[in-house]
Amino acid sequence: MNLPSPPRSCAALLAALALFALACEQPPPPSTSIPASPKPAQPAPESPESPELANPALVASGAPGSRRSPSLASSPADAMPAAKGESMPARPPVEASGDPLEAAIRRGARWLEAFPEEGLRFDAALMLSEARKALEAQEEGVEGAAEEGVEGVAEVGGGALSAVLDGELARARRRADRDDDHPHRRIWAPGLALSREEVQRWSPPRAGQARVNPNRPLSEAIFCDLYPARKAAVAYIAGPMRDAGGFHTAHAAWAWAQLHRRGCVSAARYAPVARSMIEELRGAQDAQEAISAASPSREVDLFAERLMAMGVLGAEGLEGDVAALLGAQRLDGGWGVAGEGEEAYWRYHATATSVWALSVARSRGIRGPRSWPGQGLAPEPGSEPWRGGP
């Protein structure tokens, strides 16, 4: 019996169903349509085992692997991600700030505080006053801190990193203030009243004569805004006082910066002499044997004093010197190893100078490097923290 043919509409429906069944057996072709925007993927919870979270120094410093935006990195190298599959090197252990330069200053300050007060000398207050002012200038965002106030300091007080020096600075000033007529007290006591004769009681040496104590021309520079510096004294500081990058050159640089900051030499005269001093100090610094945590106190002291002097003159490219000085810090927080028969104060001087040099570097915008040579030597068993040596 013949069945009637289905209506045209039914035939079309059957054909469509057949095609649908065939399509279900084949893989879907690539879509050419624009898909709808998916919902933003939720970030996976971060594992507590993550090295970025486990190392607070990396988080705080902006080093590779930190969660700080690369735009906040301290250098172009810090903004570069690690190569695929390469683990990020951990920054050497420092303190919670993650900045090894800041941590070194804090450790140095603690070492200084442990030194017996009866062993302090006048220049302890001088070095620490300068260091604190440098840190204070940086904290206040003062531009050109090396020329705009690194050499002076007001009342003890304040917060942040500069405050770590307050306790030791108070002790050092108690000792220094016994010499109430010392011209260098004007560094922290700007109202100090001395006569011109008390400040300028020295005679600049003539050609062929021996250099004078470097504190004499420095005194004249510190008072130059009150008593104009003599032409012979300015000329001596700019030239004959220098000793090829040694302690006298470092003191000359410090005095030259004082003269400029107090408006006693013009910028036109200051700049070429400053450049010449920087070149001299740089040459001597590069020629010195590399310092380490085993270096004698006097070697570290001279290295740090050159770094400070170049900093107050506005030198660039001091990052390598900062890294070397960080590497020379001992695990007890001090710098230098006392030589046989050497007075304990020499190590104090080396440590205070190092803290000062790092403070000046920080005021110039230098931050601790990602790595540096050495981590210091452990103090000898049973030694007192302030001695750190035989």
pLDDT digits (tens, 9 = 90+) for 162-179: 999 999 999 999 999 999
Residue 372 is predicted with a pLDDT of 55
What is the pLDDT, as a whole number, of residue 257?
97
Report which DSSP code applies to 329. B
> pTM for this structure?
0.69
| pLDDT at position 114 over 90 | yes
Query: According to the model, what pLDDT value does residue 67 have?
Result: 20
pLDDT tens per residue, range 181-234:
999 999 999 999 999 999 999 999 988 899 999 999 999 999 999 999 999 999
* pLDDT score, position 221: 98
Lookup: tokens for 8: 């045209």
CA distance 311 to 264: 20
Sign of the CA dihedral with 214 first, then 219, 220, and 221 last = positive
Q: In the 8-state DSSP scheme, what is residue 337?
A: B
How far CA 47 is from CA of 52, 54, 61, in Å, comes to 10, 10, 20
Q: What is the mean pLDDT of residues 141-149?
A: 47
Report which of residues 371 and 47 the model is more confident about.
Answer: 371
pLDDT for residue 301: 98
Examine the pLDDT at 135 and tell me if it is beyond 50: yes
| Res 43: pLDDT | 35
pLDDT tens digit sequence for 247-257: 999 999 999 99
Specify burial of residue 377 (Cβ count, 10 A radius: 0-12, 13-18, 19+). Answer: middle
Average pLDDT score over residue span 44-64? 28
- Cα distance between residue 290 and residue 63, in whole Å: 27
Mean pLDDT of 286-310: 96
Q: Please report the pLDDT score of residue 207 as a whole number.
A: 85
Query: For residue range 303-337, what is the model confidence (pLDDT) as tens digits?
Result: 999 999 999 999 999 999 999 999 999 999 999 99
- The pLDDT of residue 101 is 87
Q: Among 386, 297, 359, 370, which Cα is nearest to 90's? A: 370
Q: What pLDDT score does 73 carry? A: 25
Q: How confident is the model at residue 370 (pLDDT cuts 50, 70, 90)?
A: low
Which residue has 């020295």 as its token pair?
202
Mean pLDDT of the chain: 75
Share above pLDDT 70 across residues of the chain, in percent, rounded to a whole number: 65
Task: Provide CB contacts within 8 A for 203, sequence distance 6+.
Answer: 212
Three-state secondary-structure class, residue 296: strand
pLDDT digits (tens, 9 = 90+) for 14-29: 444 444 444 444 444 3
Residue bearing the bigger pLDDT, 292 or 377: 292
Residue tagged 């945590």 (tokens) = 293
- Long-range contacts of range 260-265, CB-CB < 8 Å, 24 or more positions apart? 260/147, 261/147, 261/148, 261/149, 261/150, 261/151, 261/152, 262/221, 262/222, 262/224, 262/225, 263/225, 264/221, 264/224, 264/225, 264/228, 264/229, 264/234, 265/234
Among 88-92, 243-247, 264-268, 306-310, name the one with the lowest average pLDDT: 88-92
What confidence score (pLDDT) does residue 341 get? Answer: 87
44, pLDDT greater than 60 = no
pLDDT band for 68, please (50, 70, 90 cuts): very low
Confidence of residue 373 (pLDDT cuts 50, 70, 90): low
